[in-house]
Structure 1
Amino acid sequence: MATHDDGEHYGLLDDVGTYGFALWLRWRGRSEAESVTLPDCPAIAPGPDGEGCCLFAGHIEQHTWEDTLEEISCTS
């Protein structure tokens, strides 16, 4: 999870069985968590093998593939 101190927080619980949606926990600070069903983020990584973002639509910050280190070619 990216470093952050305030705002809403989310944790994935499960797919809900309906294509394009998942069940998430949402909380703010020390408040009680609530379960919410949110649509999947439609973004896909660039390139021929682009993977889909594993977060929900409208999330802030980076897509999930943007948090990984890039592979560096050994021949360049």
Structure 2
Amino acid sequence: MQCQLSAHDKGEHFGLLTDAGAYGTALWLRWHGTNETELAVLPDCPVAAPGPGGEGCCLFADHTTQHTWEDALEEVSCTS
């Protein structure tokens, strides 16, 4: 599993398992380091890119890094 957050060296990492949960939530795998992991049901990030028809962020609410649509280095898919 690869962390879905923008590049970072410290802190928690999150990998999307499925977004087929209740409306507005997704099931994430959360880990810190290499030994301990846990499942977390987190609400979807409500922020969308500016402008009409702006793409929504594919992460969870209150994430610590930039929104997925702000990632200019590579194209990020909500389902990858």
TM-score (norm 2): 0.78
**Residue 24, structure 1, aligned to residue 28, structure 2:** yes
Q: Which structure's CA Rg is the greater one?
A: 1
For 2:20 and 2:40, locate their aligned partners in 1 and report how far apart those are by CA, in whole Å: 11
What residue ranges of structure 1 are gaps of 5+ in the alignment? 70-76
For 1:68 and 1:40, locate their aligned partners in 2 and report how far apart those are by CA, in whole Å: 21
The partner residue of 1:37 within 23, 41, 48 is 41
On the 8 A contact 2:15/2:30 being kept in 1, the answer is yes
Per-residue CA deviations over 1:10-55 (Å, capped at 9, x if unaligned) read 0000014311000000000122211110000000110111011000
- How many residue pairs align between the two structures? 69
For 1:2 and 1:15, locate their aligned partners in 2 and report how far apart those are by CA, in whole Å: 19
Pairwise CA distance, 1:68:
2.8
Which residue of the partner structure matches residue 13 of structure 2? Answer: 9
Which residue of the partner structure matches residue 62 of structure 1? Answer: 66
Higher RCO (CA-CA < 8 Å; seq separation 6+):
2
Deviation >6 Å, runs of 4+: none
What residue ranges of structure 2 are gaps of 5+ in the alignment? 74-80
For 2:21 and 2:56, locate their aligned partners in 1 and report how far apart those are by CA, in whole Å: 18
Aligned residues with identical type, % of pairs: 67
